Amino acid sequence: MSAAAAPSGGGGEEAGEGGKKKVDGEGRGKRVPLAGRPLFTSVASTKGHRPRMEDEFFLSSDGSFSAVYDGHGGANVSEYLRRNLYKHVMDHLPPGDDVYGLETVQEALRSAFKCADDYVITQTPYGNEGSCAVSVTIHCDREGKVSIISCNLGDSRAVLSRGGKALDLTEDHKPNAPREMERIYRHDGMVTWEGFECSRGLQIEGTGVYRINGSLAVARAIGDIDYRPWLSAEVEIKTIDLKRETDQFVILASDGLWDVMSSEEAVQYVHAVMGGAMGSGKEGDKWSGGVGDKAGGSGAEAGKPPHMTLVNWTQSYAEDRGMIRAATMLRKKKMAGYLTEEALRRGSTDNTTVAIVWLQ
Q: What is the pLDDT of residues 323-351, one digit of tens each?
A: 667 778 889 999 999 999 999 999 999 99
Q: Between 313 and 131, where is the model more confident?
A: 131
- Note the pLDDT tens digit of each residue in 187-207: 999 999 987 778 777 777 776
The predicted pLDDT at position 294 comes to 39
What's the fold here for domain 2-173+218-358? Phosphatase 2c; domain 1 (3.60.40)
d(CA 103, CA 229): 28
Predicted local distance difference test score (pLDDT) of residue 265: 97
The pLDDT value recorded for residue 208 is: 79
Q: What is the pTM of this model?
A: 0.82
Cis peptide upstream of residue 94 (ω within 30 degrees of 0): no
Residues in the chain: 360
The pLDDT value given to residue 184 = 97
Q: Is residue 31 over pLDDT 70? A: no
Q: Is the pLDDT confidence value at 253 over 90?
A: yes
Structural element, H or E, at residue 211: strand 209-212
Residue 7 has pLDDT above 50, yes or no: no
pLDDT band at 260 (very low <50, low <70, confident <90, very high): very high
Alpha helices (H) in 121-244, listed in sequence order? 178-186
Where are the chain's structural domains? Answer: 2-173+218-358
Summarize the confidence of residues 229-252 as an average pLDDT: 97
Using CA atoms, how far residue 223 sits from 119, 133, 172, 184, 303, in Å, is 9, 11, 18, 17, 50
Higher pLDDT residue, 141 or 232? 232
d(CA 338, CA 345): 10
How far, CA to CA in Å, does 117 sit from each of 28, 44, 83, 110, 226? Answer: 21, 26, 14, 11, 13
Cβ atoms 42, 358 nearer than 8 A: yes
Res 342: pLDDT: 96
SS3 state at 72 = strand
CA 261 – CA 342 distance, rounded (Å): 9
Confidence bin at 293 (pLDDT 50/70/90): very low
